[in-house]
Amino acid sequence: MNMPRFWREKQGRYNLVGNRCTNCGTYYFPKRDICPKCHRKSIGKMEEVRFKGTGKVVSWTIVHDAHPDYKDMRPYIMAIIELEEGPRLTGQIVDCSLDEIHTGMRVRDTFRKLSEDGKDGVIFYGYKFRPVKE
């Protein structure tokens, strides 16, 4: 991915910022201009939200065959995470041993390096998740 394309979504990826439809209360990540449930009624009623960053693992995998800029991290855990507020997203789980990871695990976001420097010599940063010790 090139720098301008990454940079446009920086706020969401750095700070876990999405929004909420104040008409129906549904949270969205990434941000949406219009609520798919309320359509026109949501215009001008989408409010920016910074998510708490806590959630649980919906499903997960340990990646062995990775794309070029991610090879050095192998094997790494990818997961679908459901945030406490409702939206789901895809992210890596770090600071977690490979036998510890499980469905339903509670996790919290953390700011990390996403990939090695690629073609453009730029390193991308953004959210990953780590286990919440209970």
Partner 1 sequence: MRDVYVIGAGTTRFGELWERSFRDIGIEAGIKAINDSGITGNDIDALYIGNMSAGAFINQEHVGALIADYVGLAGSLHIPATRVEAAGASGALAFKEAYLSISSGMYDIVVVGGAEKMTDIGDEMANYITSMAIDQEWETVFGATYASLQAMMARAHMERYGTTREQLGMVSVINHRHGALNPDAQFQREIKLETVLKSGYVAEPLRVFDMAPLSDGAAALVLASGDVARKYTDRPVKVKAIGQASDTISLHDRREICTMDSTVYAAKRAYDMAGMGPEDIDVAEVYDSSTIAEIMAIEDLGFFPKGEGGKAVEDEKIALGGEIPINTSGGLKARGHPVGATGVAQIVEIVKQLRGDADRRQVKDAKIGLAHAVGGSGATAVVSILEAEI
Q: Is 25 in the site for partner 1 (CB under 8 A)?
A: no
Q: CB neighbours of 125 closer than 8 A, spacing ≥ 6?
A: 13, 14, 111, 112, 113, 114
Q: Dihedrals φ, ψ of 40, to 5°?
A: -60, -30
Greatest Cα pair distance in the chain: 47
Q: Is 118 in the site for partner 1 (CB under 8 A)?
A: no
Residue pair 53/128 in contact by the 8 Å Cβ criterion:
no
- Per CB under 8 A, the list member of 34, 58, 110, 130 interacting with partner 1 is 58
- Count of residues engaged in binding partner 1, rule: CB under 8 A: 37
Length of the chain counted residue by residue: 134
Q: 83 contacts which partner out of Zn ion, partner 1, none, CB within 5 to 8 A by kind? A: none
Nearest approach, Cβ of residue 36 and partner 1 (Å): 10
Q: Is 23 in the site for Zn ion (CB under 5 A)?
A: yes
Nearest approach, Cβ of residue 36 and Zn ion (Å): 8
